[in-house]
Structure 1
Amino acid sequence: MMLELKKLPYEYDALEPVISKETMTFHHDKHHQAYVDTANKLLEGTGYEEKSCPKCLLKDIENITDDADKKQKLINNLGGVLNHNLFWDTMTPGGSSEPVGDLKAAIEEKFGSFDAFKKEFEEAGKGQFGSGWAWLVVSEGGLEVISTKNQDNPILCGKTPLLGNDVWEHAYYLDYQNARPKYLEEWWKVVNWDVVEERYQKNCKCK
């Protein structure tokens, strides 16, 4: 079984007006599909071509190939697959307000307040030069906000992603043009905190 394009968990227009149907269609059907197709092609002949878990493949990247150029291309495209799989599930029509439970407590303990966390997250997205992502991750047992370039996923540096926002221009330019800060502010309206809480509970207790 090869890598497959993840089906959106909602309709293409479900996140409007925060993200338009046009943006979702191009982002999912063109960009995400391209990462899937390219990754599958790069995996041909490696012995890993039947693997369908991009996270597992990224974690095993050192064993897939010794070719530095091919390895970087795999990181770019497997990261593109995994990052978008996480991204689609992180959003829901109407959002889910704000975190609750253990995650809320951990955010308030680390950042002081939910609003302070949001500000730091937005700054990470605004400060990412060029294409990349802003993330809330678990790192060494605690929460941290980071940014990564291109399609790098936090697992490449030993961190567990809980929440990620895509700040590649294709994620927002049709709707916000060059106003990345506005996109970052509006995006909170569609964040699915229930899913982020589930990831936190399943993978990473910050105690």
Structure 2
Amino acid sequence: MPVELPELPYSRTALQPHISAQTLDLHHGRHHRAYVDRVNAGIAGTELAEASLEDIVLGSQGSLFEAAAQAWNHAFYWQCLHPRAGDEPHGPLAERIARHFGDVQKLREEFNRAALAVFGSGWVWLVQHADGSLAIVSTRNANTPLTGTSTPLLACDVWEHAYYTDHQSDRAAYLRAFWRLVNWDFVASQLR
């Protein structure tokens, strides 16, 4: 069964003015689609042809891993965003953020520092470790916490294609837009 490009969980214009439809067309319609197409080409006729995308990420290496991890990372990233603006985390997620970071503002500051420190292309994640603690980690290129022991909760794509159309090379402006779109309900649903 081929891997499919997931539909966006909102319309292509829903994230405006923070992320434009033009950026979504490029980022989802072209970049994410290209990763999915590369995965399907790489698994055709192999034992991974019937595997889930997550299993392909966990069971591959080299260029197939890179394409599969990027496809998985992007599918996760789209779920982390929502057009509803102004929400804050609540319940158990808010309690854990307070315990591990102090408050949401401190989480954002630490997350932004990590995102601005990524040289070149990569991702920044809020993860939950096996002991229940929360942490911020960055990964380079296609790497993903999915291959480790931590559970991804929130992802921010810091590859230039995620923000160049809307913000040119101003990653800090993109991060300000990102925080206006974080889907805290999805983040909370990933807690273990």
* TM-score range normalised by the length of the shorter chain: over 0.9
2:73 paired with 1:74 = no
Q: Indicate the larger mover: 137-146 or 11-20.
A: 137-146
Aligned equivalents of 1:126 and 1:175: distance in 2?
A: 17
Q: What SS does structure 2 have at the residue aligned with 1:56?
A: helix
Aligned equivalents of 2:150 and 2:68: distance in 1?
A: 17
8 Å contact 1:3–1:54 — kept in the other structure? yes
Gaps of 5+ in 2: none
Aligned equivalents of 1:183 and 1:191: distance in 2?
A: 12
8 Å contact 1:91–1:192 — kept in the other structure? yes
Residue 149 (structure 2) aligns with:
158
Look up the equivalent residue of 1:84 and give its one-letter code: H
2:59 paired with 1:55 = no
2:183 paired with 1:184 = no
1:61-106 Cα distance to aligned partner (Å, 9 max, x none): 3xxxxxxxxx221221111111111111111112361111101100
Aligned equivalents of 1:116 and 1:49: distance in 2?
A: 43
8 Å contact 2:151–2:190 — kept in the other structure? no
TM-score, normalising length from structure 1?
0.89
Q: For 1:173, which of 164, 184, 187 is the aligned residue? A: 164
8 Å contact 1:136–1:145 — kept in the other structure? yes
Name the one with the larger helix percent. Answer: 1
Shift, 1:44, TM fit: 2.1
* Percent of residue pairs identical: 39
Q: What SS does structure 1 have at the residue aligned with 2:32?
A: helix
Shift, 1:186, TM fit: 1.8
Number of aligned pairs? 191
8 Å contact 2:56–2:65 — kept in the other structure? no
Look up the equivalent residue of 1:162 and give its one-letter code: L
Q: What SS does structure 2 have at the residue aligned with 1:190?
A: coil
Within-5 A mapping of 1:83-122: 83-95=73-85, 97-122=87-112
Gaps of 5+ in 1: 62-70
Aligned equivalents of 1:82 and 1:163: distance in 2?
A: 13
Change (3 A) 1:96 1:79: farther
TM-score, normalising length from structure 2?
0.95
